[in-house]
Amino acid sequence: MTTNATSDTFSNHPYTVTGSGTHHKMACPDCTNTLHTHPGTTRSRRTCRGCKTKWLILGNLDAGEPCTMRRLHGASTQVVERTVTTGDTDEAAVRSIVLEAMKEIVPAIKSKVEANAEAGRAYTDEAVASVAPIVRKLIAPVSKTVEITGDRHYCYDELMETITALNLAFLVGPAGSGKTTLCEQVAKDLEMDFGFLSCTEGLSEAHILGRMDINGNYIPSDFVRIFEGGGVFLFDEIDAMDSNVAIVLNEALANGNLSVPNRPDAPIAKKHPETIIIAAANTFGTGASAVYVGRNQLDGATLDRFSAAQIAVNYDHDREAALAAGYGISSLVKKIWAIRENALQAKVRRPVSTRWVVNGGKLHAGNPEKWNDKALLAKLMCAWTEQERAKVLTGELSGLA
Ligand SMILES: Nc1ncnc2c1ncn2[C@@H]1O[C@H](COP(=O)(O)OP(=O)(O)OP(=O)(O)O)[C@@H](O)[C@H]1O
Ligand SMILES: [Mg+2]
């Protein structure tokens, strides 16, 4: 080890440039070999030809000007190597050189390791997320994290988002598209009480608000129980309900108060903060359609309660494909999709619903030989007229059913 190297620290070296012309000279602090720099520059990297140490020279590199020489990271390795090869080992000096070098090197290595670790962590998180159950965080009305392990209808997330923000939702979609099932699943996933009313014109206010028995005792309805106690309540087929009866819900939907005239001792029910009200319908409540002829036009004020809460629910191909695979009718489900599309195009007023997959699948599972695609389609379309069948069973579907 040369005196120069042992006495040096690995911080800055004040040094003065000498010489003139195109090359200025300065001595290598390690071995005193001559380094050349260019005048007029303020920053220069030089490797000493003698000891191979790399230097960063900073400052005004004109002759006579003081400048700073900074040993670069690689240099420490060379100094140590040089010590070992000469056999002139000064252990304390080597240790001090290495320790000083480590001070500079370790933070750089550490930040590199951390950056790699960060990238590795992101990759791991991604990999874990791809196999872990989907976790959804609901803020309101129920502060709860829901872990979902199975598949859900494609509208599930939108429904969760809507009820989280508004405490209510209005699901609109064709028959058998999964509206009722969605509501049941949401209540189950949230581990909440679930109640529902299948609405018809015969539904009375007492079905919604509860009634009084012959002894004058109040018999609560499921709706009042959930309204006051929390849970998910579904008004299924709300567009089949008498629009005037539906008006009793208006206050409940808007202000969180429900008038319960059959309960004299507590005639006003207060909505529980964790009550979610969902309505499901085949129409938007604007009256009967060509397919859904038994539907009523709902009062504008009732519909207004559901502003921004409407969700259009359609058939979920992924769910249907999964159901069909489970029943062993994957070839049938493709035909069902084609029939559905053709029926839509030809304006055939028949629902071609997920129930075709579920019920057809069940028949097939009981007797796969008998219930092949052709036999199932004949069964599923037995109520269709010849003309209707001719309109949808075109191309490759011709002759089926
Ligand atoms: N996510 C799902 N997974 C498995 N089966 C489903 C799913 N969604 C719906 N189904 C099945 O599809 C059929 C129709 O679903 P559902 O009764 O929920 O539809 P709907 O939209 O409420 O129909 P409607 O308008 O006639 O009341 C049912 O047999 C149901 O079991
Ligand atoms: Mg339903």
Give the distance (Å) from ligand 2 centre to CA of residue 370.
30
Give the distance (Å) from ligand 1 centre to CA of residue 189.
17
Q: Whose CA is nearest to atom 23 of ligand 1?
A: 176
Residue 177 CB less than 6 A away from ligand 1: yes
Residue 176 CB less than 6 A away from ligand 1: yes
Q: Whose CA is nearest to atom 8 of ligand 1?
A: 178
Give the distance (Å) from ligand 1 centre to CA of residue 181.
5
- Name the most confidently modeled range: 16-30, 51-65, 79-93, 281-295: 281-295
Residue 153 CB less than 6 A away from ligand 1: yes
Residue 354 CB less than 6 A away from ligand 1: yes
Minimum mean pLDDT range among 8-22, 23-37, 133-147, 364-378: 8-22
% pLDDT > 70, the chain: 78
Mean pLDDT rounded to a whole number for the chain: 81
Which of 153, 180, 181 has most ligand 1 atoms within 8 Å of CB, for mutation? 181
Q: Starting from the CA of residue 174, give the closest ligand.
A: 1
CA dist 112 and 341 (Å) reads 56
- Rounded average pLDDT over 60-85: 55
Which of 180, 239, 291, 314 has most ligand 1 atoms within 8 Å of CB, for mutation? 180
- 282 Cα nearest atom in ligand 1: 25
Residue 198 CB less than 6 A away from ligand 1: no
What region does 51 belong to: left with phi over 0, alpha with psi -120 to 50, or beta? alpha
Task: For helices 317-327 and 354-366, give the axis angle rounded to 10 degrees.
Answer: 10
Residue 180 CB less than 6 A away from ligand 1: yes
Name the CATH architecture for the domain at 144-312: 3-Layer(aba) Sandwich (3.40)
Give the distance (Å) from ligand 2 centre to CA of residue 176.
7
Residue 358 CB less than 6 A away from ligand 1: yes
* Max Cα distance, the chain (Å): 118
Minimum mean pLDDT range among 85-89, 98-102, 151-155, 345-349: 85-89
Q: Reply yes or no on whether the pLDDT at 61 is more than 70.
A: no
Give the distance (Å) from ligand 1 centre to CA of residue 192.
20
Dump pLDDT digits (tens) for 310-340: 999 999 999 999 999 999 999 999 999 999 9
- Rounded average pLDDT over 52-80: 64
Q: Would you state the pLDDT for residue 251? A: 84
Higher-confidence residue of 75 and 337: namely 337
Which of 154, 354, 356, 359 has most ligand 1 atoms within 8 Å of CB, for mutation? 354
Residue 361 CB less than 6 A away from ligand 1: no
Higher-confidence residue of 308 and 127: namely 308
% pLDDT > 90, the chain: 45
Dump pLDDT digits (tens) for 151-188: 899 999 999 999 988 999 999 999 999 999 999 999 99
- Rounded average pLDDT over 47-58: 79
Q: Starting from the CA of residue 197, give the closest ligand.
A: 2
- Rounded average pLDDT over 220-237: 95
- Rounded average pLDDT over 383-401: 89
Q: Tokens standing for 116?
A: 């790699």
Residue 175 CB less than 6 A away from ligand 1: yes
Q: Starting from the CA of residue 313, give the closest ligand.
A: 1
